[in-house]
Structure 1
Amino acid sequence: MNDFRQAATAGKFLITAEVAPPKGGDIAHMVQMANCLKGRVHAVNITDGSRAVMRMSPFAASLILLQHGIEPVCQFACRDRNRIGLQGDLLGAHALGIHNILALTGDPINAGDYPKAKAVFDLEAVRLLKIIGNLNRGLDGNDKPLPDGAVNLFVGAAVDPQSKSRSGLQRRFEQKVAAGAQFFQSQLISDFDIFDKFMHQIASSYHKPVLAGIFLLKSAKNAEFINRNVPGVEIPQHIIDRLARSSVPLQEGIKIAAEQVQLASKLCQGVHLMAVKREDLIPQILDLAGIPALALDSQLASKF
């Protein structure tokens, strides 16, 4: 499967959605949610210990999705493995047909459910991108030839357009491009004016697909929780008030997400949808935003 890479290269409007692996051995819910997204997203993003919470291996979860005919983007975080383990897992992922990779530094250990665990952080995202670039050229992390040949991974990186340090944001973005990032997935976007400035002042020069992070807010309490617990994100008060006034907050959250998808479609090459535990609502968000099923996705092709 390489629909995601082909769509990105063709300049199509990209749609991905995030699904977390189970916290246990039962894959039924994960598969059910991912199946709801068939025909509506180019790939399903599988998290790697997001927020430092222990879950099933993202490689195992990605392989399961492949077996169900769903193309994954597999996250690789540097927090839990050194460069030997990361390279071994990347080679294994490639051999299993998992070719879309999102290279991440990883959330800090104290954010999760094992605060006394030992963090590794042998690498961070930029150096991981460089190692993946090496593997794609047939070299290991020591610049030695791989005796069994090169891999062919389509690698992306994360970006936080709402970072308060604009110089730091630009420097980090440029470093990731130079290290080989072929697409970018943004953190949750809550201020589209700031995102617009990022796209025009920083990202536009590099011609790399950027997918805006869109989060389904289920209630005012949900939005307030995010403001308290997710660094760098501030859901505007008018959005919180809108959710609080609604008699059906979840439906209002769907409308807000659809409006944000429409805003993103005018600014960047895609969206990354996050609807924690309600991924089945993503098709409804896309319908409301006027985004057709992928087979009909012709009017957005080559827009970028």
Structure 2
Amino acid sequence: MSNYLRQAIERQEFLVTAEITPPKGINPSHMLAMARLLRGRVHGINITDGSRAVMRMSSLAACVLLKQEGIEPICQIACRDRNSIALQADLLGAAALGINNILALTGDPVKAGDNQQARAVFELESIRLLKLIKNLNQGLDINEQPLPDGVPDLFPGGAVDPQLKSWSSLQKRFEQKIEAGSQFFQSQLITDFERLDKFMTQIASNHNKPVLAGIFLLKSAKNAQFINRYVPGVHIPDSTIERLSQAADPLLEGIKIAAEQIKIARSLCQGVHIMAVKREDLIPQILDLADVSLPG
């Protein structure tokens, strides 16, 4: 299963990835149970790295546990908590452990999380982290000094937000990430598919790198309102909130909405990245409803 994601990209398959949160403690049983349900349904599973600045088990350690189960991990690495020495150390360690898929992130601000007294680092941000990965893959550290004990073969990806208000900033950062070596992109939660279409047509189509649309499982109208209130740059339409509030079974309605969005995304971009926070067990049902299965 080594480099399964990379091989699927080379084969130009419709890509499916999902996101799982590592445990807040040392027991990985729930995380692994969710991951096992996704075996054979996704090309890779992202393990978050202190998402929303909430302390959890190391993404790298959790990815090793997934790999031991024969499940393809995508290790998220954020710049918030590590300086360039630690980032390089973790990247080399990941490669040595066979964890080659890396999603390079800047990271959420400390004030968003549960350790607000912590000191943020942010020596690098996502574009510079991608450049660092490119350097390592070429056998050089951040100071352009050679790596005498072996060179990694990391497969880096970046995040993109097609709904960013500033079109010029969106285009600039996307192209900078391409130049820095990003091989794939996972998007933030998409609610405006016309905007995604415009992004794919006017920006992404020029670069031949797969973009996976972020699909979020909405569990209720209250859940959708919470996201509108607290997640920057996301606006879930009133019509969707109304649909959830009127549904006899809001969770089932959320599953139907996610499946509909996957069908739309399939006509616009090269894949989907599914976020079903605390209900990853429902992802197979969403994929079945969207009629999405992996080849073979």
TM-score higher than 0.5 here? yes
Question: Aligned equivalents of 1:150 and 1:262: distance in 2?
Answer: 40
Residues 262-292 of structure 1, C-alpha deviation per residue, up to 9 Å, x if partnerless? 0010011110000001101001000000112
8 Å CA contact 1:188, 1:215 repeated in 2: yes
Question: Aligned equivalents of 1:31 and 1:137: distance in 2?
Answer: 34
Question: Aligned equivalents of 2:226 and 2:80: distance in 1?
Answer: 25
Alignment correspondent of 2:102: 101
Q: Structure 1: which amino acid aligns with 2:126?
A: A
Question: Aligned equivalents of 1:295 and 1:194: distance in 2?
Answer: 29
Q: Structure 1: which amino acid aligns with 2:188?
A: Q
8 Å CA contact 1:161, 1:195 repeated in 2: yes
Identity %: 68
Question: Aligned equivalents of 2:187 and 2:17: distance in 1?
Answer: 12
Alignment correspondent of 2:224: 223
SS at 2:102 equivalent? strand
Which ranges in structure 2 are unaligned for 5 or more consecutive residues? none
Shift of 1:10: 1.4
Shift of 1:295: 3.8
Q: Are 1:281 and 2:294 an aligned pair?
A: no
Shift of 1:237: 0.5
Shift of 1:45: 0.4
Question: Aligned equivalents of 1:58 and 1:15: distance in 2?
Answer: 20
Residues 15-42 of structure 1, C-alpha deviation per residue, up to 9 Å, x if partnerless? 0000000011111100000000001001
Question: Aligned equivalents of 2:276 and 2:291: distance in 1?
Answer: 18
Question: Aligned equivalents of 1:38 and 1:251: distance in 2?
Answer: 23
8 Å CA contact 1:104, 1:124 repeated in 2: yes
- What is the root-mean-square deviation of aligned Cα atoms in Å? 0.6
Q: Structure 2: which amino acid aligns with 1:277?
A: K
Alignment of 1:91-240 (within 5 A): 91-240=92-241
Shift of 1:115: 1.1
Alignment correspondent of 1:14: 15
Q: Are 1:68 and 2:69 an aligned pair?
A: yes
Shift of 1:182: 0.5
Q: Structure 2: which amino acid aligns with 1:189?
A: I
Q: Structure 2: which amino acid aligns with 1:35?
A: R
Question: Aligned equivalents of 2:292 and 2:182: distance in 1?
Answer: 26
Alignment correspondent of 1:35: 36
Shift of 1:86: 0.2
SS at 1:217 equivalent? coil
SS at 1:277 equivalent? coil
SS at 2:288 equivalent? helix
Shift of 1:222: 0.3
Question: Aligned equivalents of 2:48 and 2:10: distance in 1?
Answer: 24
8 Å CA contact 1:78, 1:122 repeated in 2: yes
Question: Aligned equivalents of 1:188 and 1:9: distance in 2?
Answer: 25
Question: Aligned equivalents of 1:102 and 1:280: distance in 2?
Answer: 23
Question: Aligned equivalents of 1:262 and 1:248: distance in 2?
Answer: 22
8 Å CA contact 1:18, 1:273 repeated in 2: yes
Alignment correspondent of 1:87: 88
Shift of 1:116: 1.4
Question: Aligned equivalents of 1:10 and 1:157: distance in 2?
Answer: 20
Residues 41-82 of structure 1, C-alpha deviation per residue, up to 9 Å, x if partnerless? 011000000000000000110000001111100000000000
Shift of 1:148: 1.2
Alignment correspondent of 1:47: 48
Residues 240-273 of structure 1, C-alpha deviation per residue, up to 9 Å, x if partnerless? 0000000100000000000000001001111000
Shift of 1:233: 0.3
Q: Normalising by the residue count of structure 1, what TM-score does the alignment of the two structures yield?
A: 0.96
8 Å CA contact 1:39, 1:295 repeated in 2: no
Question: Aligned equivalents of 2:15 and 2:155: distance in 1?
Answer: 14
Q: Which has the higher contact order (CA 8 A, sep 6+)?
A: 1
Shift of 1:2: 1.1
